[in-house]
Amino acid sequence: MNGTIQIICKRIFLLLVTMILVSFLTFAAFELVSGDPARTMLGTEATEEQVIALRHQLGLDRSFFVRYFSWLLGFFSGNLGMSYSYRQGVWDLISTKLYLSLWLSLMSFCIITAVSIPLGIWSYRFTGWFADWPRTTINQMCMALPPFFTGILVSWGFGIVLRFFTPGDFPGFQKDIAGSLRHLFFGALCLSIPRIAMTVRMLRATVISEMNKAYVRTAISRGNDRKSVLVRHVLKNSMVSVVTFLGQTLAELVGAGIVVEQVLGLPGLGRFLVASISHRDYPVVQAIVVILAFWVVLAGTLADLINQAIDPRLRLETGKLGGQA
Amino acid sequence: MKKRILPLVLALTLLLLSACGNASAPAAAPTAESQPAPEETAAPNDTAAPEETAESVQTQKTERAAANELTVGIAQDFDSLDPDYMTAAGTKEILFNVFEGLVKPTSAGDIVPAVASEVVKSDDGLSYTFTLREGVKFHNGNPVTMDDLVYSIERRWNSEDTAALLAALSVIDHLDHDDKTLTITLSEPSNEFLAAVMNAYIIPAGYTDQETAPVGTGPYRFVSRSVQDSLVLERFADYWGTPANIEKVTFKILENAEGLVLGLQSGALDLVAHMSSDQTIQLSEGDFTIAQGSMNLVQALYLNNAEKPFDDVRVRQALCYAVDKQAVIDLAFDGYGIPLGTSMFPSFSKYYDESLTDYYTCDVEKAKSLLAEAGYPDGFEMTITVPSNYTPHVNTATVLVELLREVGIKATIQPVDWSTWLDEVYSKRNYQSTVTGVSSDNMTARKLLERFGTTTGNNFTNYSNEEYDEILAQALRETDDAKQTELYRALEKNLTENAANVYLQDMADLVALRAGLTGLTFYPIYVLDVSTLSWE
Amino acid sequence: MKRKMNGYLLAGIGITGIVLLFALIGIFWTPYLPTAMKYGRFQPPSLQHIFGTDNFGRDIFSRVLKGSGTTLAIALSTVSIGAVIGTLVGAVTGYFGGRIDDVLMRLNDALTAFPSFLLALLIVSLVGPGKKYSVVLALGLVFIPSFARVMRTEFASLRNRNYVTRARLMGAKTGWILFVHLLPNTIRVLLPAFTIGFNNAVLAEASMSFLGIGVTPPDASLGYMLSEAQGMLKAGPWYAVSTGCTIVLLIFGVGLIGEGLQILSREVS
């Protein structure tokens, strides 16, 4: 019991470290990237004096560390600051977008998991070149389409021809939850297609290599049913890398929506992030990046925990099993 | 001894030249008619309309048309909605429907009274008296008072908050007012003063929530905004002027060009402006009409005149001879666009000197010999910095690279994002050449020409010519309109002769409208007036 | 068994070979200058221009030849950066665990959360704009975390195998254990990760081009061309078809090679 609390505390500590680390890296990146937020805010019409005055007003003329620590202080007191270009509180701006992106990525994740795991296991049966080529072809085609292209195909096919949703007309959660979710589903579909193909490939590859291992052959030669060996041993052992892969996918999904969000007109976090980076709207970018870091750590932790439940040898936490030789 | 000057056709405005026979501007210049007939694109629509969608699109259209609503697709998000801080051209373009100044522009390019009912200019040109119009109301229901006028002007002229200041209002010396009239006295006469007042929007005194709930006096009032998603406006019932036709207008933000086209095709959007010809080709003919106006900007390969080798006039002239404007328009814009030869476009008909367009006719041999004369017989290497998010400029640069190669100049494109462009190119002038479009946001020629004065703050091309500076100083002092016009024309000529930049074109503005939507009006400035639109 | 593996591998090599051939030819010869704009806008495929012409009137086939090379080079170098550094990180963190694992994995998480768009801008600012390798560097960094995570799990599950313990007891150096004993055994994970990574790199380059920070025009990469072509599906559908098919061929071929190699490695072990 004590150990669990310890592990949880450690995880929370690591989470904080990651968030601070990533916020620092982002801050530093903005220091190096060319482009001046004050000039971007004021546009071409403003005079140099106006730009300098605004820089002062925003506190951009303070030194790097002073700015970073004041941001950090604000962050820990729950104040994410004001957006430069919108002149509004950052949290008010991103909360609805976060909500949408969470839906989008969770939906997408569910589609990926629900489709690819059965498909991966089922597809393992087609091992011969001739039996396998249709699967490989479809799989590869799905992997080869860039997201913007999938977005256009899905909008055109499901939106304009079949009219399951109206591209460019996202109703918004306040207005129409069902309609919004339906719209999001197609966004999630675009996000999922290449990832399903990758997960299937990954799973199939590990299942096959696991099936060829000595213990499986022994088990089967001892008269065990092939299916039960698959379910009882092979899947369990293959799951480790698949779970890692899915964890990684889950981590990437929130930020990966940019292109799909742009094509389908979904007001999500990814699109907002890119726009804010372009505007050099640091407070917004900082906040989104910290949220992404939180999400990444969460996904990684989940994957680790599930993996450790599957295979107790993987307990890295204690460090006792490390190779101290 | 004051003379009534309004309503009057202001000197700096472009008379609409329906009768002027401006041959180089076929139908592209904004026309005086308030409802120019939307013109079909000349581009071949080789594929038939997808029939399976026609029926449902029709239902959608009638639904929105019946409710008298409209959805407009726009390609970039708004920045600040506070009129004091909005800087993005795309924000001003739309919020034009919400805010008004003491005076406002018309589609013909005149400046007419708005919140003021009458404007009187003193004989010496030093003071302007504005009479507050009776019965003008803010969107929050309060009547506009003299306090609001004084507050609105002072905020942009003489405020602690420098970000809100309008440089063009700095000529103001002091304000005097009584209950009904506001007199603004200038420190020196200025022909462009009313144009500056036009951009100082009238807002309620002391109101601080403009950012989240903007309040103005325009034909539309703000309803809601969702950042990176949409903006909703509603017809303002108590508008003092001609009321708008359409009840509710939603602006949907879709950064992706293809997303906008899909939105039109799916029936989600009714109107999209600033489209490329490649985009409009995707739309089926029966469902949409394509109106063509002009962007009213000077697109050019702007050269850093202080940077080698562009400090040599022969090199700049060689570039002008090397670049075939029509080829750029044909290859990158499918033939839409009006070639230009100087920093002026046809909408400003009074100042526009068409003969300068063909000053440099494309001549590769001449370009090569000029280069040889300047000491570059084998050409040289140059970089063209372009803002990467503006596809038209990137495409233009792509064609330029190809055209310059013919005379032995090896140009490479350097795409940078907009913020970097503003910082490195526009502010720090740390570049060799760039493709961009320069416009005049207050309908004055001064805005286009003043920036080439040696000491002007926004002279990002570092153009420096003694003769130019002299004429410019003279022109800015001149109060007589005819003389000033002559001087401005001399400035244009100077820019062309010294090949300050490689002038290309005034880009075409293609607007897709759903069938049944009429009343689109083009302005000589970058605005989208939705108040004149209506469903048939 | 041998026959099956040849099926994948041969088909993969054959298909990748086509694209590779495109790329190789593109280095030395193209039927037309790939940047020349004098062939008329949107000409449909014909004997003169077998893939037709694009919106600037350029010969698409010549551009596909050039673009294949660019795409191959970007994708390969990107994945290699990601795979090499990612494997190193994964090996160290997975094998040792403990502190070093904590530290490196935090960095890894931070890198995953760090927006790739900002990373690309940052690298462009650091190496100077217009440098062709800035995309490669940015994308290479983006690919480290996924390799590191997968390899970490793999090394962690292998480190307590009997042969490792035995090697350790026999006094083998840690580096030797990691890269001679363990690395070959991770191949079953590394190979698919590499092919998926290659695939992702092609797509990521396309997406970067879509956002305006990929290759510099007038240079071409397949992804850039496809992102251009998507706006011209009606005016010149052949543009999207020819570039899209080349991308599909490339990814398909590499995927098959990956599959074939996997079978091969299984047979060897």
Secondary structure of B381-414 as H, E, C letters: EEEEEEECCCHHHHHHHHHHHHHHHCCCCEEEEE
Strand order in the sheet with B297-303: B338-339, B502-506, B297-303, B433-439, B381-387, B410-416
Tell me the CA end-to-end span of chain A in Å, nearest whole number: 30
Q: Is residue A141 part of a domain?
A: yes
Stretches in chain A below the pLDDT threshold 50: 317-325
Selected for mutation to probe chain A from C99, C112, C116, C188 (highest A CB count within 10 Å) is: C112
Give the pLDDT score at C178: 79
Residue B447 has pLDDT above 60, yes or no: yes
With an 8 Å Cβ cutoff, are B255 and A271 in contact?
yes
Using DSSP, state whether B348 is helix, strand or coil. Answer: coil
pLDDT digits (tens, 9 = 90+) for B212-258: 899 999 999 999 998 888 999 999 999 999 999 999 999 999 888 88
Instruction: Indicate if A160 and A232 belong to the same structural domain.
Output: yes
Q: How confident is the model at residue C10 (pLDDT cuts 50, 70, 90)?
A: confident
Tell me the CA end-to-end span of chain B in Å, nearest whole number: 49
Residue B332: closest C-alpha in chain C: C56
| Alpha-carbon span A193 to A38, nearest angstrom | 41
Give the pLDDT score at B27: 35
Q: What are phi and psi of C195, to 5 degrees?
A: -65, -40
Q: Does B395 touch chain C (CB under 8 A)?
A: yes
Chain A, 52 to 71: residues with Cβ < 8 Å from chain B are: 53-54, 57
CA distance C266 to chain A (A): 7
| Total tally of structural domains belonging to chain A | 2
With an 8 Å Cβ cutoff, are C256 and A297 in contact?
no
With an 8 Å Cβ cutoff, are C37 and B412 in contact?
no
CA distance C109 to chain A (A): 6
Neighbors of chain B by Cβ distance (3+ pairs < 8 Å): A, C
Q: Is residue A90 part of a domain?
A: no
Instruction: Indicate if A156 and A224 belong to the same structural domain.
Output: yes
Chain C, 66 to 85: residues with Cβ < 8 Å from chain B are: none
| Total tally of structural domains belonging to chain C | 1
Among B389, B384, B514, residue whose Cα is nearest residue B54: B514
Q: Does C217 touch chain B (CB under 8 A)?
A: yes
Nearest to A40 among B253, B422, B441 (CB): B422
Which region among B46-55, B97-106, B229-238 has the lowest average model confidence (pLDDT)? B46-55
Give the pLDDT score at A161: 86
Nearest to C234 among B47, B332, B420 (CB): B47
Give the pLDDT score at A315: 61
Give the pLDDT score at B186: 92
| Alpha-carbon span A166 to A264, nearest angstrom | 9
Taking CB atoms and an 8 Å cutoff, what residues of chain B touch A166? 60, 266-268
Residue B12 has pLDDT above 50, yes or no: no
Residue B57 has pLDDT above 70, yes or no: no
Q: Is residue A86 part of a domain?
A: no
Which region among A313-317, B127-131, B268-272, C26-30 has the lowest average model confidence (pLDDT)? A313-317
Question: Which two three-digit tokens encode residue B88?
Answer: 């993005």
Q: Does B257 touch chain A (CB under 8 A)?
A: no
Instruction: Indicate if A208 and A112 belong to the same structural domain.
Output: yes
Give the pLDDT score at C168: 79
Taking CB atoms and an 8 Å cutoff, what residues of chain C touch B415? 129, 212-213, 216-217
Out of A49, A76, A103, a domain closes at A76
Nearest to C130 among B261, B334, B414 (CB): B414
Tell me the CA end-to-end span of chain C in Å, nearest whole number: 14
With an 8 Å Cβ cutoff, are B255 and A43 in contact?
no
Taking CB atoms and an 8 Å cutoff, what residues of chain A touch B87? 41-43, 45-46
The residue-averaged pLDDT of B191-215 equals 90
Among B197, B112, B109, residue whose Cα is nearest residue B524: B109
Give the pLDDT score at B480: 85
Give the pLDDT score at B237: 92
Q: Does B414 touch chain C (CB under 8 A)?
A: yes
Taking CB atoms and an 8 Å cutoff, what residues of chain A touch B83? none
Selected for mutation to probe chain B from A169, A170, A273, A288 (highest B CB count within 10 Å) is: A169
Q: How confident is the model at residue C89 (pLDDT cuts 50, 70, 90)?
A: very high
CA distance A160 to chain C (A): 15
- Confirm if B511 and B273 have CB atoms less than 8 A apart: yes
Give the pLDDT score at C6: 62
Using DSSP bridges, classify how beta strands B69-74 and B248-253 pair: parallel, antiparallel or unpaired.
Answer: parallel
Residue C113: closest C-alpha in chain A: A293
Give the pLDDT score at B97: 95
Chain C, 68 to 97: residues with Cβ < 8 Å from chain A are: 94-97
Distances (CA, A) of C252 to A42, A218, C202: 49, 35, 12
The residue-averaged pLDDT of B55-82 equals 79
- Residue A45: domain span: 2-76
The residue-averaged pLDDT of B102-110 equals 90
| Alpha-carbon span B159 to B153, nearest angstrom | 10
The residue-averaged pLDDT of B196-216 equals 91
Chain C, 124 to 143: residues with Cβ < 8 Å from chain A are: 125-126
Give the pLDDT score at A50: 86
Instruction: Indicate if A239 and A278 belong to the same structural domain.
Output: yes
| Alpha-carbon span B266 to B60, nearest angstrom | 9
Neighbors of chain A by Cβ distance (3+ pairs < 8 Å): B, C
Please give the interface size between A and C, counted as residue pairs whose CB atoms are below 8 Å apart: 202
pLDDT digits (tens, 9 = 90+) for A84-104: 888 888 998 898 889 999 999
**Average pLDDT across chain B, whole number:** 85
Give the pLDDT score at A205: 76
Residue B299 has pLDDT above 90, yes or no: yes
| Alpha-carbon span A52 to A323, nearest angstrom | 57
Give the pLDDT score at A129: 60
Out of A76, A108, A125, a domain closes at A76
Q: Does C128 touch chain B (CB under 8 A)?
A: no
Residue B50: closest C-alpha in chain A: A161
Instruction: Indicate if A7 and A135 belong to the same structural domain.
Output: no
Instruction: Indicate if A281 and A137 belong to the same structural domain.
Output: yes
Residue B142 has pLDDT above 50, yes or no: yes
Instruction: Identify the CATH number of the domain in which residue A250 sits.
Output: 1.10.3720.10
- Residue C264: domain span: 2-268
CA distance B532 to chain A (A): 24
Give the pLDDT score at A1: 52
Asked whether the bond before B7 is cis by omega within 30 degrees of 0, the reply is: yes
- Confirm if B325 and B507 have CB atoms less than 8 A apart: no
Out of A76, A110, A138, a domain closes at A76
pLDDT digits (tens, 9 = 90+) for B13-49: 333 333 333 333 333 333 333 333 333 333 333 333 4
The residue-averaged pLDDT of C114-126 equals 82
Q: What angle do CA B282, B288, B291 make, to 5 degrees?
A: 95
DSSP H helices, A212-281, are: 214-221, 226-229, 235-256, 258-264, 269-278
Instruction: Indicate if A255 and A303 belong to the same structural domain.
Output: yes
Taking CB atoms and an 8 Å cutoff, what residues of chain C touch B398? 56, 217-218
Type and span of the H or E element at C243: helix C237-268
Q: How confident is the model at residue B59 (pLDDT cuts 50, 70, 90)?
A: low
Neighbors of chain C by Cβ distance (3+ pairs < 8 Å): A, B
How many CA atoms, within 13 angstroms, populate the side-chain half-sphere of residue C54? 30
The residue-averaged pLDDT of B166-170 equals 85
Taking CB atoms and an 8 Å cutoff, what residues of chain A touch B270? none
Question: Which two three-digit tokens encode residue A228?
Answer: 């039960």
Instruction: Indicate if A59 and A103 belong to the same structural domain.
Output: no
Q: How confident is the model at residue B144 (pLDDT cuts 50, 70, 90)?
A: very high
Residue B469 has pLDDT above 90, yes or no: yes
Give the pLDDT score at C221: 86
Give the pLDDT score at B28: 35
Q: What angle do CA C150, C156, C160 make, to 5 degrees?
A: 150
Q: Does A216 touch chain B (CB under 8 A)?
A: no
CA distance B232 to chain A (A): 13
With an 8 Å Cβ cutoff, are B423 and A97 in contact?
no
Residue C34 has pLDDT above 90, yes or no: no
Selected for mutation to probe chain C from B255, B258, B403 (highest C CB count within 10 Å) is: B258
Instruction: Indicate if A163 and A243 belong to the same structural domain.
Output: yes
With an 8 Å Cβ cutoff, are B402 and C129 in contact?
no
Instruction: Indicate if A55 and A111 belong to the same structural domain.
Output: no
pLDDT digits (tens, 9 = 90+) for B309-364: 999 999 999 999 999 999 999 999 989 999 999 999 998 888 898 899 999 998 99
Instruction: Identify the CATH number of the domain in which residue C91 sits.
Output: 1.10.3720.10
The residue-averaged pLDDT of C12-35 equals 87
With an 8 Å Cβ cutoff, are B266 and A168 in contact?
yes
Instruction: Indicate if A49 and A195 belong to the same structural domain.
Output: no
Nearest to A314 among C121, C157, C169 (CB): C157
Q: Tell me which of B8 and A19 has the higher pLDDT.
A: A19
Q: Is residue A317 part of a domain?
A: no
Give the pLDDT score at C3: 46
Q: How confident is the model at residue C163 (pLDDT cuts 50, 70, 90)?
A: confident
Residue A95: closest C-alpha in chain B: B227
SS (H, E, C) C29-87: CCCCCCCCCCCCCCCCCCCCCCCCECCCCCEHHHHHHHHHHHHHHHHHHHHHHHHHHHH
- Confirm if B468 and B452 have CB atoms less than 8 A apart: yes
Selected for mutation to probe chain C from A9, A271, A316, A321 (highest C CB count within 10 Å) is: A316
Give the pLDDT score at B24: 34
Nearest to B258 among A57, A152, A172 (CB): A152
